[in-house]
Structure 1
Amino acid sequence: MTRILIIDDEPQIRRFLTICLGSQGYQLLEGDNGQTGLQLAALHQPDLVVLDLGLPDMDGQQLLQCLREFFEGPVIVLSVRNRERDKIMALDNGANDYVEKPFGAGELLARIRSILRTYTGIDTPPTGYDDGHLRIDLLARRVCLAEQDIHLSRKELELLRCLIRYPGRIITQQQLLQEIWGPHHCHDTHYLRIFIGRLRRKLGDDPTAPRYIETEVGVGYRFISHIDQA
């Protein structure tokens, strides 16, 4: 059964969501403040979180950052805040969708179904990569290039893991920094440039004609997979 965690301090909203989502077969967990919500998320690992930004003990944006330190599932923000900067901040902090209050039950259910479809089977991280030239075994923490073992530091291996997780897709600088160094370093792009440079040298990658790691200037990086062509 799909488990959904609701973090909202308004009893009437939680009651409405419990009835609405429960009628569709979802299992519900409820937290009426940020700390309780974080504890429930850590303890029960829900499939999706519905989060209000206006909480009594902490701001929802701060909670979202804390949540993303350990929770990889989808998060939908429900909020009366309708300013564009609030929406952008929530999405940058890791939200998958933003729904303004008041909202319709049908719209919310449709958004939940859409996000859950996206996550089903797609968010399972790969355990490796092998195109015959570059071999990565994340379980054994081993990387080989042209049959030669190459040594990667823990951070370099984590960076490579993040990149191969979504081959062909741009991973933003902020996403990489938040996942590897944590939310307090999401603006330290110099860290990222240094480690990307080290990783490229070890993979024999030329940034002007990349074979594996492509830069999208000012945005992020993309891993180029060669498995289909191999």
Structure 2
Amino acid sequence: MKELSENGLLGPGEVAGLVGVKESTVWRWCREGTLPALKVGKHWRVRRGALEDFLRRSERPVTLAGQLSAFLRVPDNVLAIAQNRDVLHRLDAAFFSVGEAHDGLLVKFYGGEDRTEDELVSRFEQNGLEAGRLRDEGRLLMREEEVSTGERGDRLGRLVEEESGNGRTVWASFDWVLDVELNTALEQQENLAELVDAEQLVVKTAALKEAIEEWSSSALVRAQTSHSGTILALEKGLWLARGGPMPAS
């Protein structure tokens, strides 16, 4: 498809011709909110920029990093649930690959791991991230944290202040690999959310399924809604979701 300009509005027929679908399909996308559109009288109109964004989101990247790249934005604060540690490490490597592509400063906060820092870096290497080089260049920072996670917001805030002169967006990854108490978890995530919005950060907090198995469904919903997006990473697949305000009837 040829490049679209940023100005002007398109009707459903024009969108259908550009995308190669039936006009009725475009009408359905507009009604359902799948394709952002304006209602002008009885007619739907689509901004050219909105159509470009829609097509970009509809692309199907074949790599984990590609899928995360299409999902993540700046700033962002996402919750990931990983089936096991292997999946968690693959998710970390992909997350940092996206951050590297954005010329970000990558920060891994780790605690409760059964591996040393060098072993974690090696795991990242095995999953496609040039972690050794990035660490040597000062682009990947490894920060060990206590099992208690209550001071995460403060630690990240201090790091952002220390690194503020480099001009890079911070891409930070935290983990819950041990059982975590709900109120502590929600409090830390609220603090992180405030920091993300204020400092334009990208933060991913990944929990092992076994670490939150005792949470009730209502508690899990509370945790999910304190983040801008949710990632479910299993051996058999990846699910990405974002919440938003309830649309008008």
Q: TM-score range by the shorter chain?
A: 0.3 to 0.5
Question: How does the TM-score come out when normalised to structure 2?
Answer: 0.33
Q: Which is richer in helix? A: 2
